[in-house]
Structure 1
Amino acid sequence: MSKKILEVHKPFLSTSNVYGTLLSIISDDERIRPWIYSNFIQIRYVIDWDVYFFDNHDFLIDICPYLNKSTLDRSLITQWATFKDFIIHAIDNDFYVWCHLDRFHIPGHAEYLKQSNFHETLIYGYDINENTVYFSDNMADGAYKNSTCSFENIEASNKEVYMERNFISRVILLKKNNKTDNYTINREYIIDGLQRLLFSKRSFDLINNEVLCIYGLDVYHHLSSRITNRKEDLPELDIRVFNLLWEHKKLMVMRLEYLNQISCLVNAQDLIEESKALDVKSYITRNMALKYNVKPNKDSLESINRELISIRNREQILLERILARI
């Protein structure tokens, strides 16, 4: 076979490579909705990493019932003559290849030919005649996109990735699990997630249990404090957190509509409308942050801060109302 491209779709969450990878593979499957809506509720700021995430970020792919996952030590792929041969073998057997590659060698990244940076990359196809590898990643503008490069680029980017840390050196094979029984909505898990979000309660983390985090609505206070305390420096804002907060609201709208549809939420239309309003408000705030990074000024920073506090306060009221009816 000279060409094979596995199916990928535009993910509805993509702030993190993990969400983009997971959902680009399975988001066409309507069966995933109950699982998606039962998760992706709590948010956290990981102090040790200075990054904002959905909860259980580290093992969402591990626990997803619609994906089969196999993890390989990178040394095992030396059984193939080249990384190219390994990719072809995996794709031919309907496995997506998800692994860290060095962006220095891959066109389309801001680091291309400038600096080394290992980052998770999803490889989903190849074309031998065109000397092309198909992959997805957060590209130079931060957006999760489908792109291509040559086999030479991919070979070079793989050769650089040999580190002692397992999560970087491993290679993960992903395959859609079409035999999974339909997952039903987990009402108790949703309630627990909403309560943890509302009261900023610590979540259980079996992988990084010693990592310091800020949870739930307290994330807004933390972000607001960072903005307030750095006014004099006029810092560039990390767009990822604003995008995450917007995607969090976008998904809440979808969740409430689904819960209303299956009669798991009582008299939900007003809740859905308020959730939609917060979705729009979060999207506008994200765009304000984008504009601020192009043209920084204190007034814009103060406006962004006011919007964050407003969103946080309205979300608190919304969560209380949802919990009273679910």
Structure 2
Amino acid sequence: MNAVQLPVLNPPLKGFLRWAYTLSITSAHEETIPWYYSNFIQLFCNKKFLEHGRQYYIDFFRGKPNELNFNNPFLLTCSVNYTILESLALESWPKFFADQIRNGYYCVVFLDEAKLSPAASYQKEPFPHHLFLYGFDWEASVFDASMFDNTGVYRNLQIPFQELVDAIKSMRQLLKNNLTSDHHTYFYKYEPHSPYPFDKMAAIDQLRDYLNGETHLNRINYNPDEEEAFGIKVYDYLQMYYDAVENNDTRLVDRNDVRHLHVLWEHKRMMSERIEFLVDEGIIPYDGELVEGYKEMSNRMLKLRDQYIRHEIRADKEMYKRLRLRINELREEEPVLLQKLITLLEGRHL
């Protein structure tokens, strides 16, 4: 087989690549949908980004370790570091990955993205990152890959073998010079799971955690850090972040203003789609306030994200006032809708 492509689907969540990569595999299989809607409820963020001079983030939370590390029940996962692969000659890497793909394994390769021509970081400072490979054409000497391109769009594209080799060579040098740490290369094989019906109890637990601003996920392996906020409490720190942006706080590092709003929109859209799934499957009865409430919340967040994108191109003096208004609306409206959803999932009458 000179050309192989493993099945992928446009992933439903793209805010961070750990979701985009793994969900592009599992979303291609209908049997994973109940698992998907049983999860991706909780949000978290870091709290002390100003005091410690760290990048602010807001993201979905499914416990620790993160999704690349053996955290998806439908993916058989292997991981290796550069130390293990040290004896593999550079010119042998394309065949090595092609062989894994031929055997049904998707490859998530840790490399220097600054060596890849479609990347925003191309020919700039080194940019250690993971690249998703799902196919290859041996005669054309290209891999089929998924990544954020230089316009910030997540898409499928082709990476020449030589660019991949150059990116791996650069990563080897970065590691040798102790300029970055090894985040490992992963291999995933889709393994049909035993039936996974919607897990009502898991969903209720996550919803309660969200309302209480805490987490109980994977506590056997992870003590939530004092530096992280969960659920409804993330809005306080999101507001703190945008206040710092508005005031040009010099302590802010690696700003990514739009991504935070994009993740927030993905969460509200995901909640809206989850509620529709629960109604369609007969798991909860139709409730107009709940269905329309989250749909409206999702639409508002999408509009807010798009307004911020325009604001970054041409400053809008009202933008931060609008942000405060929307974040306050979330603080007030979302707990009411979440409590209603919990009540319906528990089978109690409203």
Deviation at 1:107, TM superposition (A): 1.1
The residue that corresponds to 2:2 in the other structure is: 2
Pick from 131, 134, 144 the counterpart of residue 154 of structure 2.
144
Say if 2:272 is the partner of 1:264: no
1:148-184 C-alpha deviation (Å, 9 max, x unpaired): 1211100011122243799734221111113x11101
Worse-matched range after superposition: 46-55 or 96-105: 46-55
Identity %, equivalent residues: 22
Cα distance 1:167–1:207, how it changes in 2: closer, same or farther (>3 A)?
Answer: farther
The residue that corresponds to 2:198 in the other structure is: 185
Cα distance 1:209–1:312, how it changes in 2: closer, same or farther (>3 A)?
Answer: closer
**TM-score of the aligned structures, taking structure 1 as reference length:** 0.91
Pick from 56, 70, 74 the counterpart of residue 66 of structure 1.
74
In 2, are the aligned partners of 1:45 and 1:53 still within 8 Å (CA)? yes
Q: Gaps (5+ residues) in structure 2?
A: 48-53, 346-350
Worse-matched range after superposition: 7-16 or 261-270: 261-270
In 1, are the aligned partners of 2:82 and 2:182 still within 8 Å (CA)? no
Q: Gaps (5+ residues) in structure 1?
A: none
Structure 1 distance, partners of 2:282, 2:37, is 14
In 2, are the aligned partners of 1:110 and 1:139 still within 8 Å (CA)? yes
Query: Which structure shows the higher helix fraction?
Result: 1
Equivalences for residues 129-208 of structure 1 within 5 A? 129-162=139-172, 163=175, 168-178=182-192, 180-204=193-217, 206-207=221-222
SS of alignment partner, residue 24 of structure 2: helix
Cα distance 1:320–1:299, how it changes in 2: closer, same or farther (>3 A)?
Answer: same
Q: CA RMSD in A?
A: 2.4
The residue that corresponds to 1:95 in the other structure is: 105
Equivalences for residues 44-123 of structure 1 within 5 A? 44-47=44-47, 50-56=56-62, 58-61=65-68, 62-78=70-86, 80-81=88-89, 82-123=92-133
1:64-93 C-alpha deviation (Å, 9 max, x unpaired): 221111112333335554211211111111
Aligned residues: 325
Worse-matched range after superposition: 155-164 or 100-109: 155-164
Equivalences for residues 169-248 of structure 1 within 5 A? 169-178=183-192, 180-204=193-217, 206-207=221-222, 209-210=224-225, 212-233=227-248, 238-248=257-267
Worse-matched range after superposition: 249-258 or 41-50: 41-50
In 1, are the aligned partners of 2:211 and 2:338 still within 8 Å (CA)? yes
SS of alignment partner, residue 150 of structure 2: coil
Deviation at 1:257, TM superposition (A): 1.5
Equivalences for residues 275-314 of structure 1 within 5 A? 275-314=294-333
1:177 partner letter: E
SS of alignment partner, residue 9 of structure 1: coil
Structure 1 distance, partners of 2:22, 2:226, is 24
Worse-matched range after superposition: 14-23 or 42-51: 42-51
In 2, are the aligned partners of 1:44 and 1:214 still within 8 Å (CA)? yes
Deviation at 1:208, TM superposition (A): 6.8
Worse-matched range after superposition: 180-189 or 232-241: 232-241
The residue that corresponds to 2:42 in the other structure is: 42
SS of alignment partner, residue 318 of structure 2: helix
Say if 2:305 is the partner of 1:318: no
2:73 partner letter: P
The residue that corresponds to 2:348 in the other structure is: none
Deviation at 1:109, TM superposition (A): 1.2
Structure 1 distance, partners of 2:87, 2:77, is 20
1:69 partner letter: T
Structure 2 distance, partners of 1:211, 1:160, is 36
2:62 partner letter: N
